[in-house]
Amino acid sequence: MRDTFYPRVKKMLDLSHLPDNLYKQSAWGHSRVWDKQARAAGYTPEAIDGIWNWDVVRKESRFWNRRSATVGESNHGNANGAKFDVTQNYLKYAEESGFTKVYSGTQVKGISQDANGIYLVEVEQMDPMGEILDKYTSSCGRLFMAAGSIGTTELLLRARERGDLPKLNEHVGEGWGTNGDAALFVRLHHLGALHRQLYPPVKFIMCLLICRLPCKIGTPFKCLLIRKLFLI
């Protein structure tokens, strides 16, 4: 994996680290806080590879194009091209090969297998607003699933429980989790000291949660909560 396949992926996706000049900008303040606290805890933070087009990200910081990566839209997709995602490489090259067709706007609702061992895939075609335009079933001799940890598990469990894939065993659905993007460290000596132990990232997350409170609560009350949070 390390010597053969990862180098191939790194070359295909043009992976690279966050440049120092961007790391020092305000949009990456959370990264600097993370690194500072990691060092304080005795760890050495290391930069990881990313699939970013740093030229596009630099244009964001200069307001030369619509801001996306620098305002936290990464997990929702970056429509301005800030991410060199698989639609620009693997999927693009797969379609260009003539052996692959990508069906956008589709959602797999179920999978099963007929008496001859052929896999049947139930598909819904939707428009950008989520309205169902068509329903159909595709068939294939081999089925590779890549619906994410949650999506793949859901489809497999549904197929097993409905008897659509009866050969799936009892271990399907066990031992799975997310991809581990979330991490949180809070040192608690005793509950009375909780307010003194909240690290800046935790306070930031709490601010986001406060801002997402229902509008009927009122902006003044939200501002009061945030002010109290940073005064403790």
One domain, residues 110 and 67? no
pLDDT of 228: 46
> Is position 186 within any domain?
no
Q: Is the dihedral of CA 197, 71, 179, 10 positive or negative?
A: negative
Same domain, 207 and 146: no
Residue 69 has a CB neighbour count (10 Å cut-off) of 22
Whether 185 maps to a domain, the answer reads: no
Q: Please indicate, yes or no, whether residues 195 and 175 belong to a single structural domain of this protein.
A: no
CA distance 155 to 147: 9
Instruction: Give me the domain span that covers residue 27.
Output: 5-90
Give me 177's structure tokens: 């989790």
pLDDT of 196 reads 47
Same domain for 13 and 81? yes
Burial of 14 (0-12, 13-18, 19+ CB in 10 A): middle
The pLDDT value given to residue 180? 57
Q: Give the Cα separation of 223 and 216 in Å (integer).
A: 14
- Is residue 97 a part of any domain in this protein? no
pLDDT at 122: 96
Look at residue 98 and tell me if it is in a domain. no
Q: Taking a C-beta distance cutoff of 8 angstroms, is the pair 107, 124 a contact?
A: yes
Please state, in angstroms and rounded to a whole number, the distance separating the CA atoms of residues 32 and 141: 50
Query: Radius of gyration of the chain from Cα atoms?
Result: 23
Number of structural domains in the chain = 3
Check whether residue 46 and residue 18 sit in a common domain. Answer: yes
Question: What are the pLDDT tens digits along the chain (232 aa)?
Answer: 889 999 999 999 999 999 999 999 988 898 899 899 999 999 999 888 989 999 999 998 888 888 888 888 877 777 788 889 888 999 999 999 999 988 889 999 999 999 999 999 999 999 989 899 999 999 999 999 988 888 999 999 999 999 999 899 999 988 876 665 555 555 544 444 444 444 444 444 444 444 444 444 444 443 444 444 444 4
Query: How far does CA 178 lie from the centroid of its chain?
Result: 9
Same domain, 9 and 63: yes
86 within some domain: yes
- State the DSSP string of the chain: -TTTHHHHHHHHHT-BPPPHHHHTSGGGHHHHHHHHHHHHTT-------B-B-HHHHHHHHTTSS---GGGT-GGG--TTS-B--GGGTHHHHHHHHTS----TTEEEEEEEE-TTS-EEEEEEEE-TT--EEEEEEEEESS----SHHHHHHHHHHHHHHTTSSTT--TTTTSS-------------S-GGGHHHH--HHHHHHHHHHHHTS-GGG-HHHHHHHHHHHHH-
Looking at the structure, tell me whether residues 80 and 116 fall in a common domain. no
Cα atoms found within 13 Å of the Cα of residue 202, Cβ hemisphere only: 13
